[in-house]
Chain A
Amino acid sequence: MSQALLQVEQLSTAFPAINGAVRVVDGVSFSVDRGMILGLVGESGSGKSMTGFSIIGLVEKPGRIDAGRILFDGVDLTTLSPEEMRRLRGRRIAMIFQDPMMTLNPVLRIETQMVEALRAHRSISRQEARRLSRDALGEVGIPSPDERLAAYPHQFSGGMRQRVAIAIALLHRPDLIIADEPTTALDVTIQGQILAAVQKLAAEYNTALIWISHDLAVVSHIADNVAVMYAGRIVEHGTVAEVVHSPRHPYTAGLLGSIPSRNRRGARLAQIPGSMPSPHSLPVGCSFRPRCARADRQCEQMPAMIPSGAESLHTYRCFNPLSQKTQ
């Protein structure tokens, strides 16, 4: 296998608790190539955002990565010093957050923030930085970027603010962008615009993208591969077609069945009983066991990731998988 841009191996992130450490990310492995989009899907508390934070080195203390490797372009990010990580962050790995106000400083003009971000990593003149900033705003579809540079974040609408955050993420032409629910707070027509911009830019600059979302539908539109997370672990991983068309893990199937969709108008939704367990009190064995209709004695052990077919990369973590659909 040729070397992927990002290779995450058995990543675990833990927070200390009264009775030992609590693992919120547990043995997560995946890889992303240049120009590829990986969708990381899960419900709240599944560890999907924490996986993103772990890669970019933003896990808040006292949490820490306690096992695994994150190989980015051949370098293990977990071995870098905070200073080395800081030089990488923003320049080669960028992050887009759900709330653009997490990225933007409310008391500074957009121009100040963008120029500052550029000059933090590159020795360029103020004029040059301003020109690059203006071009970046134009690229993400902000009308009259010259005037908008002088505006403050509160003068933008939510969708426009998210565009500014994306423009800032793209400033240094990073190799990898981690997008954490970037369109969740936006209206559908604005979401469509943002997805269009991100898709275009990722293809243009051959950027690798990790798209973290709770929305399997959005991910199915833009991603190449999908990893479904549950209670800190990846439970199913494969191409969008494999996972969406032929889910093997009962949780993935349940998630797909929960989404109201065409042709099933008015029918009962296939609901998953119960809710996600707290990381403090995970059930023994498979974490999905208490909610699963297919669970048996075997599930009291933790299943490994099992390949779905001989050739495909489709893997799942289940002893009693759903049968494979043939196309």
Chain B
Amino acid sequence: MTTPTNDMASPPAAGAGRQDQSVRPPLWELRGISRTFSNRQDVVSRLGMKLNLIKPPAKVHALDSVNLTVRKGEVVGLVGESGCGKSTLGRVVAGVLPPSSGELYWHGKALSTLSGAERHSARLRTQMVFQNPFASLNPRMPVSEIVAEAPRVHGIIKGGRAAEQSYVDEQLRRAGLDPAMKGRYAHQFSGGQRQRIGIARALAVQPEFLICDEAVAALDVSIQAQILNLFMDLREQLDLTYLFISHDLGVVEHVSDRVAIMYLGRIVEEAAVADVFERANHPYTLALLQEAPHIETRKRRFSAIKGELPSALNPPSGCYFHPRCPHAFERCRAERPVLKNIAADHKSACHLNDRH
């Protein structure tokens, strides 16, 4: 299965965005981003904590000092099981959730140092497509209004009512919808069409960066293929950059240039798509790849990895994966492995790499 290549940067397939990723300027950079959640405390318990009468509430580390760079024009796939923090990461980048600590950089500048107008533009140029097209569209608005609202508010549409309508038509057509249907409401569309409406809405404010959070997970295979093709067409037409969040390795492998694997709030491996799928380093990545079903004509025996994702409320010590890892040794229990380069453009967080 492995194809030996010395040149790690060689493009695996055709497509403009796939070459020379290292020289492309970073669009978004996450440096040491953490995000914790805890129960909201009332006045009494806050007072109790101040007086050392009550222990502070348990914290869930949804993101634990995550570093990730998304370069202009590339598609970064973010993979992990449910509860690993991948959606939280997407929301932090989209600005829906503020990080608890760490700094976001947009076009090389720290978000906190940007002026109000610049920050506004950073947020507007970053849009999100959600998993559930039933919940993410306003059921009481016609499609034309869903798509037109944001660009109107942000002054993107120049001109009157006629200009607005032709702008909406163009957005719908680009997402593969018939503009004649723009007077309808969300419930009158099928799942695939609804996802197209979500995409048209996101693209209506002319973003350069799209965060797709499980955007095809709820769709049937044949519809999923239509939407994936649409994402790839739009990327070429509009020079879009994507953060593609998914639990489906097949989908991520298909669309991504670079892939980051998350486990319990930490990125455990990050590399070019070919490196992850052909030269995976981290035991968790290897386990995921082994378990992922792909079309085969032979029956196969499943030899499952043990255990399940530990609770983020009470994570294991050291490397979070060590209780499930077949190679775990003393150091894995004691010390957190750092994400570091193991080859050109290939990062992994595993102590095994120090053992030679």
Interface residues of A (CB under 8 A from B): 43-44, 157, 159-160, 187-193, 195-196, 199, 214-218, 220-224, 240-241, 244-245, 254-262, 264-273, 275-276
Chain A residues, Cβ within 8 Å of B300: 221-222
B residues in contact with A195, CB < 8 Å: 302, 304
Binding site for A on B (CB under 8 A): 12-15, 18, 81-82, 190, 192, 220-226, 228-229, 232, 247, 249-251, 253-255, 273-274, 277, 287-288, 290-305, 308-309
Q: Is the CB of B295 within 8 A of A260?
A: no
> Quick one: closest B residue to A273, CB to CB?
B226
CA distance A222 to B298 in the complex (A): 9
The answer to whether A199 touches B302, judged by C-beta atoms less than 8 angstroms apart, is yes
Q: Write the nearest CB–CB distance from B67 to chain A, whole angstroms.
A: 25
- Whether A265 contacts B225 by the Cβ 8 Å rule is no
B247 touching A266, Cβ below 8 Å? no
| Nearest-CB residue, chain B, relative to A222 | B299
Partner of B250 from A191, A196, A260, A275 at Cβ < 8 Å = A260
Contact B296 A221 (CB under 8 A): yes
Q: Which one of A188, A218, A255, A265 contacts B13 once the chains associate, using CB atoms below 8 Å?
A: A265
12 contacts between A and B (CB under 8 A): A43-B221, A43-B222, A187-B82, A190-B81, A196-B303, A215-B221, A221-B296, A254-B222, A259-B294, A260-B228, A260-B250, A272-B226
Q: Known contacts A44-B220, A269-B229; is A275 also within 8 Å of B294 by CB?
A: no
A261 to B294, CA, bound (A): 7
Contact between chains at A43 and B220 (CB < 8 Å):
yes
Known: A192-B302, A199-B302. A272 touches B222 (CB 8 A): yes
CA distance A215 to B301 in the complex (A): 17
Q: How far is it, in angstroms, between the C-alpha of A269 and the C-alpha of B254 when the chains are bound?
A: 9
B293 touches A159 (CB 8 A): no
Q: How far is the CB of B222 from chain A (nearest CB, A)?
A: 4
CB pair A244 B247 closer than 8 Å: no
Bound CA–CA A217/B296 (angstroms): 7
Q: Which of B229, B247, B273 contacts A265 (CB 8 A)?
A: B273
Question: A228 to chain B: closest CB distance in Å?
Answer: 12
Residues of A within 8 A of B294 (CB): 217, 259, 261-262
What are the 7 closest A-B residue pairs judged by CB atoms, nearest first? A260-B254, A258-B225, A192-B291, A193-B304, A196-B302, A217-B293, A187-B81
